[in-house]
Amino acid sequence: MPRLGMEPIRKAALVEATITEIGRAGSLDVTVAQIARRAGVSSALAHHYFGSKEQMFLAAMRHILGLYGAEVRGALALAEGPRDRLRAVIRASFAASSFRRETIGAWLNFYVLAQTVPDVKRLLRVYQHRICSNLRAPLRVLAPERAEALAEGLAAMIDGVYLREVLGQRPPDGAQAAAMVLDYLDVQLAARPNSGGAA
Amino acid sequence: MPRLGMEPIRKAALVEATITEIGRAGSLDVTVAQIARRAGVSSALAHHYFGSKEQMFLAAMRHILGLYGAEVRGALALAEGPRDRLRAVIRASFAASSFRRETIGAWLNFYVLAQTVPDVKRLLRVYQHRICSNLRAPLRVLAPERAEALAEGLAAMIDGVYLREVLGQRPPDGAQAAAMVLDYLDVQLAARPNSGGAA
DNA sequence: CGGTTTATTGATTGACTAGTCAATAAACCA
DNA sequence: TGGTTTATTGACTAGTCAATCAATAAACCG
């Protein structure tokens, strides 16, 4: 009994299911049948809407990055002044919507996928570029000379914290993770407040 | 024409080939046949010596971590004083023997594998614990109150730099990577030289 | 009401691959 | 010398899975 206008609903369900399955399995070795089952449809339908497994992965990744981007934009909208903006970006990176076991697991696997699938690589580069930009802009105000280096350091640290979360036995603690990066930021800014000349 | 005593030679070749193939493919989706071919033997022989693909992966990982451990030990042996020891550990993390495209690619994939294979997870935990210890010990001398937090921050940053290297278009530059982490360290230590109380 | 589009699936196919096995042969041993 | 161990492989098996297809059926359209 097919109702019309199912496409967006099914696609959304399949994207969610893809992330969940990858996160649970901790691997890209999930079958289309598994994903489809979780989404409550047949594997044939999944192929019908996405064309291939790779396209499903890509859509899932776009979804994750989209959520993250929304989180950042939302936080930035409320922030005033460069320091606040930096904090906003960092906190958004560990907000509950992104910093969950399944999402982290999926995210790590997309890094792996980027080595094989050019489209995924491009997508991930866009994300990296955007986060660096978001950090660099306020840093240019606070520490112009070191803005570039600090932005890269912060970005690396955020990625590193994510990565280490994958192995953690404890469930991820976004607040604590954010605190570590925020502390790094504070100390760096306190060090050479408004000028630079890093090695 | 089989000569005796081939086992260690074949095993070493297969381990090398495993790392190379995973690094090149950027994925764990490499066939035993591929690995064996690169090692110059049949896939049957690979199974003969390792029993299963999983054991090959595990051996490859032990090899990578072993190389890294040796690098750290070597650097530590030459270091004098806590500050020097810290620098040694960080530099060793980006030494040429470990910081190569293929090794980095393989290393990332082992993080993924850890989510599935308990033995790999255990191995990776041992590595993380060891690097944290190596950092903590000298930090306890230089900044006792913050030693724990700083060690975790440094470790996260090291992992993060590795991770970002995976996507990089340029070939990995260990010196520059090390410089970034060393700078982080210097600033943190300069900030509150011999006491603490981080938020 | 027919005809078209949309939704949906069971069944099938075609390709791939981990792991097994029996066979071959050189080297060592008693 | 003849038996055992070690090295090595080609061929095979059994299982998996992405992708396709033909078929069913509801909804919409003129």
* B61-90 burial code (b ≥16 CB/10 A, e <16): bebbbeebbebbeebbeebeebbebbbbbb
Round to whole Å and give the CA distance between B40 and B103: 20
Residue B198, CB, less than 7 Å from strand C?
Answer: no
Which of A36, A147, A155, A173 is CA-nearest to residue A89? Answer: A155
Q: DSSP for A163-182, please give it.
A: HHHHH-SSPP-HHHHHHHHH
Residue with tokens 């991820």: A172
Q: Which residue has better confidence, B161 or B168?
A: B161
A150: burial class by Cβ within 10 Å (0-12, 13-18, 19+)? buried
Residue B133 gets which letter from DSSP?
A: H
Question: What residue in A sits closest to B24 (Cα-Cα)?
Answer: A115
As given in the structure block, the two tokens for residue A7 are 């496409």
Encoded tokens for B96: 């040429």
The model's pLDDT over B10-36, given as tens digits with 9 standing for 90+, comes to 999 999 999 999 999 999 999 999 999
Nucleotides of C under 7 A from a protein CB: 6-11, 16-22, 25-28
Q: Is the CB of B197 under 7 A from strand C?
A: no
Q: ipTM value, please give it.
A: 0.91
pTM as predicted: 0.93
Please write the tens of the pLDDT for every residue from A121-165: 999 999 999 999 999 999 999 999 999 999 999 999 999 999 999
Query: What is the band of A199 on the pLDDT scale with cuts at 50, 70, 90?
Result: very low
- Contact indicator for A132, A152 with CB cutoff of 8 Å: yes
* Alpha carbon separation from B65 to A122, B68, B106 (Å, rounded): 30, 5, 11
CA of B42: nucleotide with nearest C1'? D9
